[in-house]
Amino acid sequence: MTSAASRTAQPCAGSPQTVPPAGFQPARVTWRVVLRSVQVFGWFATYLVFFVVVLGPWLWVFNQWWDRDRRLARRIVRALYRHGMRGFCGRNLWIAPFDWRAVPQPCILVANHQSAIDILLLLQLPPDARCWAKNWPFRMPFLGALMKLCGHLHVQHADVLEQAAESLRRGVSLYVFPEGTRSRNGRLGRFHDGAFLLAARTNCPIVPVAIHGSGRCMTPDHSAVFDVPLRVEPLGILYPDAIFTPDGGAPDLGDSPDAATRAAEISETGRHRPGGEPSRQLQAASRRTCLRLKQESLALITRALERAHRNTES
């Protein structure tokens, strides 16, 4: 029987090295850059205010009664910001070809994180997905309302993994930046376990995505928007291993989203919580699968970034 590891889109081996900085050096801010930045922020702020003020009340009612998964709100946001990104970037924005029909839905998209515009670049991809976000977007005027209307997940909530597992069970994919924060120097940071452990416990595939150029377009410590090539490159499909109970049967993880939360708590604290925790064999299998998915995702993204870096230098 073919193992899940051999069904991955591209083979991965070993632990990758970090990528050298690919152009985070300070760029010259000209009047053209300033005018472009004002134009970009103005248009995107207009989209945001229109969505929250004009469509927000109607979407709130619609979400309460007919669309608990907030699919319509996310579809509108994707349409607005796809239009905006393609309008401002033009030929500088390139989405690598990828057969999304071959990707089982739902899935978990994991990407490197260099800039605040990374989430807008992931919105160019077809899957309907929620994202994990920290505190600051939820506290921003208008942006916080958009996050709530779209049903995005607050990563610092105690039950975020349970919410994420429930979202996957209902057929909604996830955007995750496993580094947890933006890179300040272009190097790929350490990946956290959350998304990969969730994939192991819900049997959802991982789709690694390499984002190129966003750190040079809008650097973490700079508010100017530079006109540089942007590339979004899906890298393949990574399938979790089949995890079995000690009696040889497969657990019905789709109907038990709290299993992901329990597994995460055990992995973080090393303690067993009373009541229905998975067996030691299941925990060990989950951890092995989590580690494999994390290493393979890191290897794929690292190689893609290194390849882009070599092409930039040549």
- pLDDT (tens place) for every residue of the chain, 314 residues total: 444 433 444 434 444 444 444 445 556 778 888 888 898 899 889 999 999 999 989 999 998 889 888 999 999 999 999 888 888 888 889 999 999 999 998 999 999 998 888 999 999 999 899 998 888 888 888 999 999 999 898 887 778 888 888 989 999 999 999 988 887 777 888 898 889 988 988 889 999 999 998 888 887 777 788 888 899 999 999 998 866 333 333 444 444 444 444 444 433 333 334 444 556 777 777 888 899 999 999 999 999 988 887 877 66
pLDDT score recorded for residue 14? 41
Q: Say how far residue 128 (Cα) sits from the centre of its chain.
A: 12
Q: Are 297 and 208 in contact (CB under 8 A)?
A: yes
pLDDT score recorded for residue 207? 95
pLDDT score recorded for residue 68? 85
Q: What b-and-e string marks burial along 24-33, b requiring 16 or more CB atoms within 10 Å of the CB?
A: beeeeeeeee
Q: Are 143 and 137 in contact (CB under 8 A)?
A: yes
Q: Are 73 and 129 in contact (CB under 8 A)?
A: no
pLDDT score recorded for residue 146? 93
Q: Are 228 and 217 in contact (CB under 8 A)?
A: yes
What's the distance, Cα to Cα, between the start and end of the chain in Å?
A: 44
Which structure tokens are listed for 46?
A: 């207009």
Residue whose structure tokens are 């929250």: 52
Neighbour-count burial of 171, counting CB atoms closer than 10 A to its CB (0-12 exposed, 13-18 middle, 19+ buried): exposed
Q: Which residues contact 133 (CB under 8 A, 6 or more apart)?
A: 147, 152, 153, 154, 155
Residue whose structure tokens are 């207009």: 46
Q: Are 109 and 296 in contact (CB under 8 A)?
A: no
pLDDT score recorded for residue 277? 52
pLDDT score recorded for residue 17? 47
pLDDT score recorded for residue 24? 56
Compute the distance between CA of residue 193 and CA of residue 220 in angstroms, rounded to an integer. 24
**Which of 311, 313, 243 shows the shortest CA–CA distance to 94?**
311
pLDDT score recorded for residue 26? 56
Q: At what angle do helices 160-169 and 194-202 cross, to 10 degrees?
A: 40
